[in-house]
Amino acid sequence: MQARTITAVLVLGAAIAAGVALSLRDAGESVAPRAATILPAGNELPEFALLDQDGSPVDRTVFEGQWDLVFFGFTHCPDICPATMTVLGQAKRALEAQQGRDPLPRVVLVSVDPERDTPEAMARYIGYFGDGNLGLTGELDEIGKLTGALGIFFQKAGPDDGNYGVDHSTVVLVIDPQGRLKALFSAPHRVDDLVHDLPLVMVSE
């Protein structure tokens, strides 16, 4: 997606995110999640070897020490990926607006198109959606270790001429600071649902 288009999406959504934060703060939160499926404490993520957007090697410990919102997508995605990343970024900013809510989750994009998604491409892309985001890419087999363990589907679609697409799962996963899958959000993703549910998920250790 072109930088101009992504910027326009972010600007249009900023007011919505701010309004959501204020309305939820004023109305108060219920104890039941609206959209999240909270899972029992699970096993740690599998061993894998990938690269972050700086080209530095990372393993499963990259998911330890903070809460992460993890989405599997690709930088050439025309619609679902930029829309989802925009929603995640807006939700994070809306949480921060709620009296500086802490901790804030990190937004993580894991590429399902490593053939085109170099670390440099990932760095440019995730930068469109806010600060502090993490992009992961690497060898297809290593990505497969992570997607296989988490039940994420992806498959190259269309002609193999450099303009192909990638069919993939659209779920957003919540990884806890111990590196365990804690919850998931199925599409469609909405800012108000994330803002309402994440504080509930992130205290249910």
pLDDT band at 43 (very low <50, low <70, confident <90, very high): confident
Q: Which residues constitute the domain of residue 62?
A: 3-201
Give the global pTM: 0.84
Residue 204: per-residue pLDDT: 58
Average pLDDT, the chain: 87
Q: Which one-letter amino acid corresponds to residue 61? A: T
The percentage of residues in the chain with a pLDDT greater than 90, rounded to a whole number, is 75
Strands (DSSP E) along the chain, which ranges?
A: 36-38, 50-52, 57-58, 68-73, 106-111, 134-137, 154-157, 165-168, 172-175, 181-185
Contact 50, 134 (CB under 8 A): no
Place of tokens 């249910």: 204
Number of domains in the chain: 1
Task: Please report, for the domain that includes residue 16, its CATH number.
Answer: 3.40.30.10
Helices within 117-190 (DSSP H only): 119-127, 140-150
pLDDT digits 0-9 by tens, 90-109: 999 999 998 677 789 999 99
Which is more confident, 78 or 5? 78
Tokens linked to 174: 């919540």
Closest CA to 111 of 78, 74, 70: 74
